[in-house]
């Protein structure tokens, strides 16, 4: 199966995506037909410039005071706290150094305090307590239309050409405010994603769903951070009863001391085709197709913040999705293959791998009435 799968990774690039690490870049928004024909239908990403230049947010959100005043009478917001910025990611469990899937500490705070935590993390010196906390506003429960509704007139409710192409309004619109330390690890979503940056920059690594086996999706024990404001320290605790989360094992940015070990553990990723790279700037929108694996880092604006809005539109569960599930169901190497490395035999067969069901997001999202009927489990993450 090795040869056939490697041919698939190559062919989708040769036929459709291109052999460079760049994605298509449009200078202005496409027509709905062009968007649907050239990108959505082909499950192919693109970056669109001059897409949101008319949004008041592009200028008004550059000042913290505008945001804090606008949200001063809103209810508390949900801020995600971690010690190192990697919320919903694999981290070594302190007791034994085995990797676990760590969810952040979620705290309800007035927006002003949440924003202060985000910007002071960035600007703090190394002796301050605050630098031990990385705060990220990244609640993915349609929060822009709920917690942040006071800001709704600063952005479009939806992306008109995408709405017309996809035939429905967005299922969820989320606001993201983070700093340079916030990272989202490789995962995928069961949504068509229109990702608009308002301030700062977002840096995406993208891999098509055909590259499933290159992500080494494995089951990891679920854990959760809890943060003590008194001590300023985090504790990481395994969930009880134990729960296992299928997640991508690959960290694409290796520290020098890890390079050799990680590359030998995940050769299909590191020795195969390079991921597509894309930086999204204010005014631009990334079309991130459903089921694509993506890893996200960010660069802050002058105020230490990266701000983005994303629009999740329902995807079609069509022949592409059926083919993807078929691919998933196949092992990279036959289990009878005597040359099989140990890691390759541990693929999860979970129905919902490295997406939100992992994180309990489904309940959260459904409870708000946004999701009624999603084939193949629910999703999360930017």
Told to check if 327 binds a second copy by CB under 8 A, we report yes
- Round to whole Å and give the CA distance between 185 and 296: 7
Task: Report angle CA 299, 305, 311 to the nearest 5 degrees.
Answer: 85
Render 200-250 in DSSP notation, one character per residue. SEEEEEEE-GGGGGGG-EEEEEEEEEEEETTTTEEEEEE-SS--EEEEE--
Interacting span for a second copy (CB under 8 A) from 5-13, 178-186, 263-271, 357-365: 5-13
Determine whether 312 is exposed, middle or buried from the number of CB atoms within 10 Å of its CB (0-12, 13-18, 19+): buried
Residues 148, 57 contacting (CB under 8 angstroms): no
Interacting span for a second copy (CB under 8 A) from 11-19, 21-29, 135-143, 271-279: 11-19
**Interface positions, 146-165, toward a second copy (CB under 8 A):** 164-165
Told to check if 44 binds a second copy by CB under 8 A, we report yes
**Interface positions, 83-112, toward a second copy (CB under 8 A):** none
Residue showing tokens 């190394």: 126
Told to check if 349 binds a second copy by CB under 8 A, we report no
- Round to whole Å and give the CA distance between 147 and 76: 8
What's the closest the beta carbon of residue 375 comes to a second copy, in angstroms?
Answer: 6
Structure tokens at 374: 């999603």
Residue showing tokens 């329902």: 314
Told to check if 318 binds a second copy by CB under 8 A, we report yes
Near a second copy by CB under 8 A: residue from 26, 40, 206, 217 = 40
What's the closest the beta carbon of residue 152 comes to a second copy, in angstroms?
Answer: 27
The total of other beta-carbon atoms located within 10 Å of residue 227's CB is 19
Q: Between 212 and 359, name the residue whose CB sits nearer to a second copy.
A: 212
Query: How would you label 243-268 residue by residue, b for 16+ Cβ within 10 Å and e otherwise?
Result: ebbbbbbbbbeeeeeeeeebeeebeb
Residues 139, 88 contacting (CB under 8 angstroms): no
Near a second copy by CB under 8 A: residue from 200, 209, 282, 303 = 209
Told to check if 244 binds a second copy by CB under 8 A, we report no
Residues in contact with a second copy, total (CB under 8 A)? 44
Tell me the three state secondary structure of residue 324. Answer: helix
- Round to whole Å and give the CA distance between 40 and 162: 10
Near a second copy by CB under 8 A: residue from 28, 271, 329, 339 = 329
What's the closest the beta carbon of residue 322 comes to a second copy, in angstroms?
Answer: 4
**Interface positions, 20-39, toward a second copy (CB under 8 A):** 32-34, 36-38
What's the closest the beta carbon of residue 22 comes to a second copy, in angstroms?
Answer: 18
- Round to whole Å and give the CA distance between 16 and 14: 6
Near a second copy by CB under 8 A: residue from 125, 241, 242, 336 = 336
Told to check if 169 binds a second copy by CB under 8 A, we report no
What's the closest the beta carbon of residue 54 comes to a second copy, in angstroms?
Answer: 24
The total of other beta-carbon atoms located within 10 Å of residue 171's CB is 19
What binding mask, one character per residue, do residues 245-284 give for a second copy by CB under 8 A, x or -? ----------------------------------------
Residue 88's nearest CA partner among 129, 130, 133, 136 is 136
Using CB under 8 A as the criterion, which residues of the chain lie in contact with a second copy when the complex forms? 1, 4-5, 7-8, 11-12, 15-16, 32-34, 36-38, 40-44, 164-167, 208-210, 316-327, 329-330, 334, 336, 375
């Amino acid at each position: 199966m090795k040869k056939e799968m490697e041919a698939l990774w190559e062919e989708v690039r040769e036929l459709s995506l291109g052999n460079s690490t760049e994605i298509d870049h449009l200078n202005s928004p496409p027509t709905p037909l062009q968007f649907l024909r050239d990108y959505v239908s082909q499950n192919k990403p693109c970056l669109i410039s001059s897409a949101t230049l008319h949004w008041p947010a592009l200028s008004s959100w550059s000042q913290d005071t505008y945001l804090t005043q606008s949200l001063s009478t809103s209810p508390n917001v949900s801020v995600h706290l971690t010690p190192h910025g990697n919320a919903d990611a694999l981290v070594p469990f302190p007791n034994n150094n085995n990797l676990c899937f760590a969810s952040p500490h979620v705290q309800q705070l007035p927006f002003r305090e949440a924003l202060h935590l985000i910007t002071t993390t960035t600007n703090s010196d190394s002796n301050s307590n605050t630098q031990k906390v990385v705060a990220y506003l990244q609640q993915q429960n349609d929060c822009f239309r709920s917690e942040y509704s006071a800001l709704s007139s600063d952005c479009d409710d939806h992306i008109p050409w995408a709405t017309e192409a996809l035939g429905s309004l967005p299922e969820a619109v989320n606001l993201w405010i983070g700093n340079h330390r916030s990272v989202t690890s490789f995962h995928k979503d069961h949504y068509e994603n229109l990702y608009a940056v308002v301030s700062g920059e977002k840096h995406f690594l993208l891999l098509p769903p055909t590259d499933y086996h290159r992500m080494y999706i494995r089951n990891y024990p679920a854990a959760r951070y809890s943060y003590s404001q008194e001590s300023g320290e985090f504790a990481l605790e395994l969930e009880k009863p134990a729960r296992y989360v299928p997640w991508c094992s690959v960290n694409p940015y290796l520290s020098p001391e890890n390079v050799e070990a990680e590359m030998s553990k995940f050769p299909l990723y590191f020795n195969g085709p390079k991921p597509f790279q894309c930086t999204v700037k204010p005014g631009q929108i990334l079309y991130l197709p459903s089921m694509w694996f993506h890893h996200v880092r960010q660069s802050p604006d002058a105020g230490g913040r990266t701000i983005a809005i994303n629009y999740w539109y329902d995807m079609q569960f069509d022949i592409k999705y059926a083919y993807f599930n078929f691919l998933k169901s196949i092992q990279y190497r036959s289990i009878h293959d005597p040359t099989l490395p140990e890691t390759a035999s541990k693929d999860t067969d979970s129905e919902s791998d490295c997406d939100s069901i992992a994180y309990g997001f489904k309940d959260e999202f459904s409870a708000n009435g946004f999701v009624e009927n999603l084939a193949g489990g629910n999703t999360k993450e930017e």
